[in-house]
Amino acid sequence: MTRTLRPAALRHTGRRALALALVTVAAVTLVGAWGGGTAEAASYRFWSYWVGGGSDWSFSSQGASRRPPDGGVDGWRFAISPDSASAVQPRRSPSFDRICRGTPEQDGQKRVGLVIDFGTTSDAPEGESPPQMLTTCAVVPEDANGYEVLTTVAQLRIDDGMICGINGYPATECGKVVSDPTTSPDDDGDGEQSGNSGDNTGGSGTGGQTSQKNGSGTAGSGEQAGDKSDDQPSDKKRDKNDGKKREQGKSASATPDPEAADQSTSAASALQPTAGAPSSGSPVGLIAGVAVIVGIGAAAFVLARRRG
Amino acid sequence: MSHAPRPARYLHPVAWWMWALALAAAASRTLNPILLAGIIAVAWLVVAARRADTPWARSFRAFMILGAFVLVVRVVFEVLFGAPLPGTTILTLPEVTMPEWMAGVRLGGEVTLEALVAALYSGLQLVAILACVGAANSLANPTRLLKSVPGALYEIGVSIVVALTLVPAALEHLQQVRDARRLRGRATRGLRANGRIGGAVLTGALERSLALAAAMDSRGFGRLRPLSRAERRITASLMLLGLLAAIVGGYALLDASTSPRVATATLVVGLTLLVVGLIRANRRAVRTVYRPDPWRWPETATVAAGVLALVAFTVAAWVDPVAMLPSTWPLTWPALPLWPFAAILVAATPAWLTPPVPRPMKDAAESVDKPSPGLPVRMAA
């Protein structure tokens, strides 16, 4: 019925709107085509936890909250994978005998082999290069879980209940989404570049290898201002470790595993978490801020009471 | 501003909602407990200063109670189900390990200070967002908000309001039917009785709806300007397409596997189409608004205060993520980022910048010729 009433002006706007709609549809299609290439294979770059059994690695549904048995081997691998089910395994076989050969048993403690695989260069965040693989034998209390085993030998960066970085690698990111394993578009990670590259050139000798690795960890985590104060005690611990290692250095053979085992025994003695008590920042600004907020709250309270 | 007391009026409800949503979005950018506490305090202050004496204005308290509940639940869940990350143990609970077929989840065990603080931070963030939404609910008048709804959605808005007002009426009718049955000595319980009561209540609701529809029709509700079929089809397809693109874009933005560029582009295109469609649909409306809410500088200032906080928080989260997301492992004292904190203080200014709310009770008590408490107050418009 309205077709007969249709004025020329309306017909005009109708055509214009149709054109607009067509243009937007074209724009959507174009945008889809333009972005389609980057949106194809989205994966995550993260540390995955592995349980060693015989010569194979297997995935644990419990994650690292699992308590590894005496004589077990834990593995950690940093890699890009679409999900946890298809995560990439550590590249060294979980042989407890080989890893813990040089570590004596202790009363009330258990020995757990630990393989920390920092991954390949292609999996590394831009500007960072993966440290050498770390293989140690951790001596921990009987009830220690996977996380506690890891803390005995490595510096962790944890965010929101996730292991984000081990020994400062990666430096800043956490479970980052990467669109393609070969071309990872990262915008972070420029400051730690020099520290890590320096580490890689220096870390060729067997003796200096582990200490260099720890050094790279400091360079990476030291970037975050909040961590700075906490790095102090751990640095001291590391110095102590290095000193102990130098004493035992003569007995260490050329193969990397017993060497790493030596390092782990000294680290295991310092099981106490280094990042225990809250560090004291600058309390003046903090107190002022809290005072202002309490003031606002008090004003709100008074106003609300007056209104009834 | 002049020194004379400002005339009392309600701020435009859209301004309150934009201020509150911007503040909530700002809260989602940080886990810093000081900033989050600041946002909660600011929301409370503005509500205390500028809420109306109306039933919906009391909703802020309800939202804060809900927030406290959420915070407690968050902390309890962390204690029970949290990952046993190493840290400073403050409490050891009896531990239960679920069997393997239940994914071997570990309940209880050691509770670390680090995990507890992290749970508190994220819980506080939820509380802050709830406080912002509660503030908007408490400050903005819902019936006035309906006036600001675009003409194309006006019918839907009216339907919602009618439905909401009819719910109490239906409940009242239910009670009446029950009482009538009881007076006649019939059963009020049991399947049969409930069926009869339900039938009577439904009939009553239908009758009321028909009466309301007749009343609205006689007052000219729903009159539309005649449009050509092509015109209507274009408008409908624009809205449909826009809605589809907006939904797909919104999902893609949340889903990590899609590139954020594509997601944002799709969302923007979808919203644009939707807006164009709404504007076109508006042409059908021949309705004019009775006593429209004005948009003056206090409205603009309120929105600006909220948006400023959002911008400051977003920039700070990008520039200084350590201060905005304080590390809980290792545990550190949260720093006080200066600019976001200053932005929070600016976000509190609507408590003074906005005109005072009309107070029917007070005004009526002061002068006799003002309208009585029950009646709507005349706006300074």
ipTM, 2 dp: 0.70
Residues 322-341 of B with CB under 8 A from A: 322-323, 325-336, 338, 341
From chain A, pick out residues whose CB is under 8 angstroms from the CB of B356. none
Say what the pLDDT of residue B27 is. 95
Helical H segments across B255-359, by residue range: 260-282, 297-319, 321-324, 338-347, 350-353
Query: Helix or strand or coil: residue B47?
Result: helix
Say what the pLDDT of residue A15 is. 64
Query: What is d(CA B331, CA B33) in angstroms, rounded to the nearest whole number?
Result: 13
Q: Quick check: A286 and B334 in contact, CB under 8 A?
A: yes
Say what the pLDDT of residue B162 is. 77
Q: Which residue has the higher pLDDT, A304 or B377?
A: A304
Question: Which chain B residue is nearest to residue A2, measuring alpha carbons?
Answer: B228
A53 at B interface, C-beta within 8 A:
no
Q: How far apart are the first and last CA of chain B?
A: 17
From chain A, pick out residues whose CB is under 8 angstroms from the CB of B229. 2-3
CB contact under 8 A, A301 and B48: yes
B278 at A interface, C-beta within 8 A:
no
User: A39: which DSSP letter?
Assistant: T
Distances (CA, A) of A45 to A118, A169, B88: 12, 12, 28
Nearest by CB to A289, which of B34, B83, B273?
A: B34
User: B225: which DSSP letter?
Assistant: -
Kindly state the average pLDDT of the residues B337-351.
94
CB contact under 8 A, A32 and B266: yes
Question: Which chain B residue is nearest to residue A188, measuring alpha carbons?
Answer: B318
Query: What is d(CA B186, CA B109) in angstroms, rounded to the nearest whole number?
Result: 59
Q: Is residue A104 classed exposed, middle or buried when 0-12, 13-18 and 19+ CB atoms within 10 A define those classes?
A: exposed
Residues 209-268 of B with CB under 8 A from A: 226-231, 234-235, 237-238, 241, 245, 256-259, 261-262, 265-266
Say what the pLDDT of residue B343 is. 96
Alpha-carbon gap: B333 to the closest alpha carbon of chain A (Å): 6
Average pLDDT over chain B, rounded to an integer: 84
CB contact under 8 A, B331 and A13: no
Chain A to chain B Cβ contacts (< 8 Å): 198
User: B90: which DSSP letter?
Assistant: E
Q: Is residue A292 classed exposed, middle or buried when 0-12, 13-18 and 19+ CB atoms within 10 A define those classes?
A: middle
Alpha-carbon gap: A281 to the closest alpha carbon of chain B (Å): 6
CB contact under 8 A, A24 and B322: no
Say what the pLDDT of residue B7 is. 85
CB contact under 8 A, A161 and B241: no
From chain B, pick out residues whose CB is under 8 angstroms from the CB of A27. 269
CB contact under 8 A, A21 and B237: yes
Local confidence band at B87 (pLDDT 50, 70, 90 cut-offs): confident
Residues 165-184 of A with CB under 8 A from B: 177, 179
Amino acid A250 reads K
Six token digits for residue B308 = 């400023």
Largest Cα span, chain A: 102
From chain B, pick out residues whose CB is under 8 angstroms from the CB of A3. 228-229
CB contact under 8 A, A63 and B83: yes
Alpha-carbon gap: A242 to the closest alpha carbon of chain B (Å): 23
Question: Which chain B residue is nearest to residue A149, measuring alpha carbons?
Answer: B86
Residues 88-117 of B with CB under 8 A from A: 88, 100, 103-106, 114-115
Six token digits for residue B306 = 């909220």
A64 at B interface, C-beta within 8 A:
yes
Q: Could you tell me whether strands A73-81 and A109-117 are parallel, antiparallel, or unpaired per DSSP bridges? A: parallel
CB contact under 8 A, A65 and B106: yes
CB contact under 8 A, A66 and B245: no
From chain B, pick out residues whose CB is under 8 angstroms from the CB of A13. 231
Query: Helix or strand or coil: residue B238?
Result: helix
Predicted TM-score (pTM) above 0.95: no
Find the angle CA(A198)-CA(A202)-CA(A207) to the nearest 5 degrees.
145
CB contact under 8 A, A6 and B228: yes
Query: Helix or strand or coil: residue A292?
Result: helix
* DSSP E strand stretches across A11-133: 43-53, 56-59, 73-81, 109-117
Say what the pLDDT of residue B76 is. 92
CB contact under 8 A, B85 and A147: yes
Q: Is residue B79 classed exposed, middle or buried when 0-12, 13-18 and 19+ CB atoms within 10 A define those classes?
A: middle
From chain B, pick out residues whose CB is under 8 angstroms from the CB of A177. 256-257
Q: Quick check: B333 and A279 in contact, CB under 8 A?
A: yes
* Closest to B273 in 3D by CA, of B224, B230, B235, B313: B235
Query: What is d(CA B341, CA B37) in angstroms, rounded to the nearest whole number?
Result: 11
From chain B, pick out residues whose CB is under 8 angstroms from the CB of A174. none
Q: Give the whole-number percent of chain B exceeding pLDDT 90.
A: 38
Q: How many residues does chain A have?
A: 308
Question: Which chain A residue is nearest to residue B246, measuring alpha carbons?
Answer: A28
Give yes or no for residue B91 having a pLDDT over 60. yes
Distances (CA, A) of A3 to A10, A28, A141, B32, B222: 11, 32, 86, 62, 21
B42 at A interface, C-beta within 8 A:
yes
Say what the pLDDT of residue B157 is. 77
Question: Which chain A residue is nearest to residue B52, measuring alpha carbons?
Answer: A307
User: CA B316 from chain center: how many Å?
Assistant: 25
Amino acid B264 reads T
Distances (CA, A) of B236 to A21, A137, A143: 11, 68, 65
Alpha-carbon gap: A2 to the closest alpha carbon of chain B (Å): 5
Q: Quick check: A154 and A115 in contact, CB under 8 A?
A: no
Give yes or no for a cis peptide into B330 (omega within 30° of 0).
yes
Give yes or no for residue B187 having a pLDDT over 80. yes
The least confident of A29-38, B130-139, B314-323 is: A29-38
What residues in chain A have per-residue pLDDT under 70?
A: 1-18, 21, 24-25, 28-42, 83-85, 179-282, 308
Burial B90-100 (b: 16+ CB within 10 A, else e): eeeeeeebeee
Kindly state the average pLDDT of the residues B106-124.
87
CB contact under 8 A, B38 and A61: no
* Closest to A15 in 3D by CA, of B269, B271, B233, B286: B233
